[in-house]
Each structure stands twice: as structure tokens, then as C-alpha cells.
Amino acid sequence: MQANPRSLDTLFNSQLRYVVPMFQRLYVWKEMPQWSTLWEDVAEKALLSMKGVKSNPHYLGALIIEGVKPSSPREVKRFLIIDGQQRLTTLQLLFCAYRDIARKNEWKTLDRTVTRYLENADPDVMEKPDEELFKLWPTMLNRDAFRGIVSAGSPDEVARRHPLVCLPRKRKPEPRSNLAEAYLYFSKTISAWIDATADGFSKTREETAFALLQSLQQDFCVVEISLSEGDDSQEIFYSLNSQGQPLTQSDLLRSLIFMRAEKEQIDRDEIFAEYWSKFETDFWSAEVKRGGRTYSRLDLGLRYFLMVKTGQMVDARRVNEEYRRWISAKPPKYPTVKEELADFTRYGDAYRRYESAQPSELPATDLRRVLLDFDVSTALPLVMFLELEVGLDAGQIDGCLSAVESFIARRVFTGEETKEHNKLFVDVVGSLRGLSGGAVLPALNKKLLVGGGTTRHWPTDGEVVEKAISRAVFKEIKTPALRLILERLEIHLRNKKTESSDIPAGLQIEHVMPQKWDAHWPLNGVAIPADVALYPHIAKDDLALLADAVRSRNRAVHTLGNLTLLNKHLNPAASNGAFASKLIEYRNSVLRLNRYFDASSSWDEDAISARGKALGEAICKIWPRPKLSDPA
């Protein structure tokens, strides 16, 4: 490693180019505090120079670069920017704004001098002139904007290429490229400074502009640190970025992947465009909450990918560290970085398919709808493992996913704890690694069946039926999950003679015996006042003898046997009326769930229990639980 001070003239006045690697962030500097602070320093030094006051050079910080062996004798010498790309890009934009001011005023000497800081000479002998012409070559997502600014030639043209867009009903325009904003900021600021300073010193504008350039050339330096062959650029990058604004796990992992790609001499632009560019979108940068913490979708996707590959829990805060350990272990996981990115992209597509699904657009039988409505995204590593990693055929995948769905559905219905789901599903992945084909489903069933306690138990048929009769599911199961269970029951009750298996959209959960049952639903032949129905402990005299019966009814009202589905028109019509009036409305429903009541003349706790038992038994058939002795 060699460290040397470099003036801006020395830094940019040679035939070379600085390449921002793909692992670096986009250009993010803004007027406050970065551009304005830099300009204040530049203006102060230039004024001191014009007054004839000597001052020490102003150091702008460190620039860490790593030389890259040229692939052709015609290639312009290339350096990767390990640290300092934000600073270097800003200086290039400042010089570009200065050059265009000189060009507009026909200050040819200044124009030619600064052009050498922006562009390399002799493009006709270059290997890739469209790229090697520029002293700075940003990441792909910044590249077109930067190249367009340098080639635009004027602030008006830059503003035309990067217009402010005003959306309806928004007071402020949409933000445009930081690169364009930086150029326009420096263009405006430099012009104003030249005009004001020329008047103050009784100089021509060209003389003032020359003094400004001379100050930039001589009074500003960077410490250029060139890495030697044995230096680990990756470790240096991590160390330098451990302070200040923290890098995300995906930022760190991107650096790992593309540094390795550079060393393998893989076409970084090609693999970025083909693979990683798919992850530089709003979908992947959007933040989601998991376990009380907030992560980007890309960070979560990387974590799930690694858990699938290792069969081990991965701390969301240590994804990059664990990935580095995994990918560097022997034997190599992939022949090249390109195959590695191709595999991750495959998993990314699967993760996006589940994460971007809208429950309202999915049938009740779709596993994505189950995972969303039951709120068990922790099962995704296991699901992706079964779909992508084990090499199962379509029938084998369906069998395995049905087992996972049954395990989840039964646990949700019976109210089992979910706090260890993330560990459980990753443990299952670990237990299945190395298996394939017909061996996977028996092993999966066994792993899920032997779990003990409330955190890993696969509820039995008896437990499901008991909860169907006794559990107040309307209060204890979230509405999306309960609606899905009722929809699946509706589908199960249909047969080959039923015209359609589709479930109408927008169905609402309806209490057959209403929650406010006091007005039309006597208890043991006695009309119960509304306040007693709500608060049975206040009952007095003869009503006190019915307090326990009131409590029992209030609980039964919210059990599965008393719930059905109705559309938004039938639900208000049925409302809190007597059972006879409800039957009239139910006859308008096409749902098999509501045909149950055609033969009923009354509705009470015994009827609710009987229907609950029947629906519980149906749930056991929808989501069967195998026995340990069952064959595959």
C-alpha cells in the first residue's frame, strides 16, 4: 500500500481513468452539507490566492484506488475506486460546470485545460473509446446521467435532459438525478462567484476564472492510497465504511460479489445488466417489518437464500459475514460469480412471487394466499428449498407443500405459538439437505410430526375438532386467516355437481347467532336484557341463575360452528334479526356453507356445537395430518 499527496491537477491530468466498481453505492451527495461545504472551501482559497496570501494546501480526504491489469495494450490505464467515489464524482461535476462556463465565454485556454481533467486524449486509438474517453466511469445506474452531463455542454442542455417533473396534486417537483443537481449547483455558484469577485477586485471575468482554476489546481489535494497486489481491497472497503452512515447487508454483499467478479475478470457490466440490475429497484429497496425490525426486501431475500443454502438460522444483521464464510468454504459453491448470481436471481424471482402477491387476487387454494393470510413468511425458506433446491417433480413438490400448509393451517386454527417458527422451518431445511425425490416427503412429515411443545406441535384431528367446537376463533384468529379457512371449507363442501369452484370476492364473515343476540334470541325461554347479555355478572334475582348460560352463549357465538360467509348485500340484511328472518336471507346465498341451514328450524348452542364438530372434521380432511407410520 502506498500513500501520496496528489493535487487535483496531478490527479486528473494524466491519461488514465477511475472506474467506480459495481459494489459501490450510487452517487448520493447533496447540496447540504457536501456541495456547499466544498464550495465554501474553494471560494475561500481562491480569494486568499487573489489577495496574494499564501496558505497551506487543503486536503479533501483520502482516495483509495486499486490498479487493474489491462486486457489490451490499447486500453487506457484503469484504477478501481475502493473509497472516495462520492468526492471524486463531485470534483468531476465541478470541473464540468467550470469547463462549460469557459466554453460559453470562449475562454479557450481554460476550456482546453479543464477538458483534459474530464476526458482522455486520442479516443481513436482506444480499445473502448465510448468508455475510456472519460476520466471517471461511474456505476451502470449513474453512467448514462454522468455521460450525458459531461457531453451536454451547457446548463440549459443539462436541465433539458433532466427536467423537473411535477406530478398532479403535489406541490414540489419530483427529485431529479443528484448528478444533474450537483452540476447545476456548481454552474450557478461558479458563475455568480466570478461575476461578484471580478467586480470586487477590478479584474476581468476571465482573469477571475483563471485565478479560481489556479486555486483548484494548486491549493487542493487528496491523499491517494494505491493498493498493492497483496492488499485485501474488500477488507479495506468494509473497514472504511464501518463508520458514518452504515452500509446495509445487501450493500456489503454486493461489494463482495463484484469485487470477486473483478478478480475473475468477468465482464462486470454484463453480469450487472443480466442479474444484479433486477435488484436495484423500488421493490427490493422497500422496507418491510419482520420480528419488530425493519429491513429492505433485498436484505431479507439474501437472508432467506443463505438459510436455504446452509440449513441454518442466519442473523439478519450478519448476513454478509455469514455469506462470506459460506461462499469461501471449500469446495467452491459455484464455478464462477456469474453462476452464483444466476442462482441467486432464481431465488429472488421466487421470493418476489410470494412477497408481491396480493391476497385479494389469489384463490384460497394458492399457497401464496395461505402464507400471506396466515402471516407465516417465516416458512418461505422451507418453501423455496422444496421448490428450487431438492430437485422434486411437480407431484412431489405438491405433496411436500401440502404437508407444510397443513402444519401451518392446523397450528393457526388451534392457536399454537409462532415465536419459534423461523427456527423451526430452517431446522427442517437442514434435516432435508442431501435428500431427493421420494425420500423427501417421508422425512419432511417425520420432522414435522416429532416436534414437541406448543412451538413445534402438529395438532391432531382430535385437537382440531375440539378447537372447532370450543375456541372463540372470531376473536382469536385474524380476519384474513379466518376468512380463508371458511373459504376453504366452502370449496371442500362443493362436489362435482356444483357449477363453479370459484369463491366470490368480497365475502364477509357473518355470525349466524348475532353478537348482539339479546333482542331476538331468548335463552332457555327467557328474554335477556342487553346489559345482562353484555355483562352477565350484573344479573340479579332469577336472571342470576342464567349468568353461566349467558357466558357460554357469548363464547359459542364466536366459535366456528356459528360463522359463515355472506356477500356485502346479504350481511347487513341478515344483521341481528331472529333466526327465521336470517333463513330467508340465507336462501339467496349460493354458498354450500349456507345450504346447511335449509333443514334447520332453530339455532342454539347445541346446533352451533354440532356444526362446529362437522366443520372441524372437514378441516381435518382439507389439511390432513399423516401418521409416523404412513408411507410416502
Q: pLDDT tens across 533-579, in order?
A: 888 888 777 788 788 888 899 999 999 999 999 988 776 766 778 89
Selection from 246, 83, 85 nearest residue 178 by Cα: 85
368-388 tens-digit pLDDT: 999 999 999 999 999 999 999
Q: Looking at residue 499, what is its pLDDT?
A: 55
End-to-end CA distance of the chain: 61
Q: In whole angstroms, what is the distance from residue 549 CA to residue 298 CA?
A: 54
Q: What are the Cα distances from residue 40, in Å, to 5, 32, 36, 391, 583?
A: 22, 12, 6, 62, 80
Output 582 or 461, whichever has higher pLDDT.
461
Instruction: Express as a percent the part of the chain with pLDDT over 90.
Output: 56
Q: In whole angstroms, what is the distance from residue 40 CA to residue 50 CA?
A: 15
Q: In whole angstroms, what is the distance from residue 256 CA to residue 192 CA?
A: 44
Q: In whole angstroms, what is the distance from residue 57 CA to residue 215 CA?
A: 10
User: DSSP assignment, residue 560?
Assistant: G
Q: In whole angstroms, what is the distance from residue 442 CA to residue 357 CA?
A: 30
83-110 tens-digit pLDDT: 889 999 999 999 999 999 999 999 999 9
The residue type found at 133 is L
Structural contact between residues 350 and 387, judged by C-beta atoms closer than 8 angstroms: yes
Question: For the stretch 486-501, what's the b/e string if a residue is b when 16 or more beta carbons lie within 10 angstroms of its beta carbon?
Answer: bbbbbbebeeeeeeee
**Residue 422 CA from chain centroid, whole number:** 18
Q: Looking at residue 152, what is its pLDDT?
A: 95
Helix axes 249-263, 319-328, angle to 10 degrees: 30
The three-state secondary structure class of 502 is coil
What's the whole-number mean pLDDT along residues 289-302?
85
Decide if pLDDT at 321 tops 90: no
Please tell me the pTM assigned to this model: 0.72
217-235 tens-digit pLDDT: 999 999 888 876 555 555 5
**Do β-strands 17-19 and 136-137 pair in parallel, antiparallel, or remain unpaired?**
parallel
Question: For the stretch 247-262, what's the b/e string if a residue is b when 16 or more beta carbons lie within 10 angstroms of its beta carbon?
Answer: bbbbbbbbbbbbbbbb
Decide if pLDDT at 453 tops 80: no
406-439 tens-digit pLDDT: 999 999 999 998 888 889 999 999 999 999 999 9
607-616 tens-digit pLDDT: 999 999 999 9
Most confident of 68-82, 149-163, 214-228, 492-506: 149-163
Could you please report the per-residue DSSP string of 380-411? HHHHHIIIIIS---HHHHHHHHHHHHHHHHHH
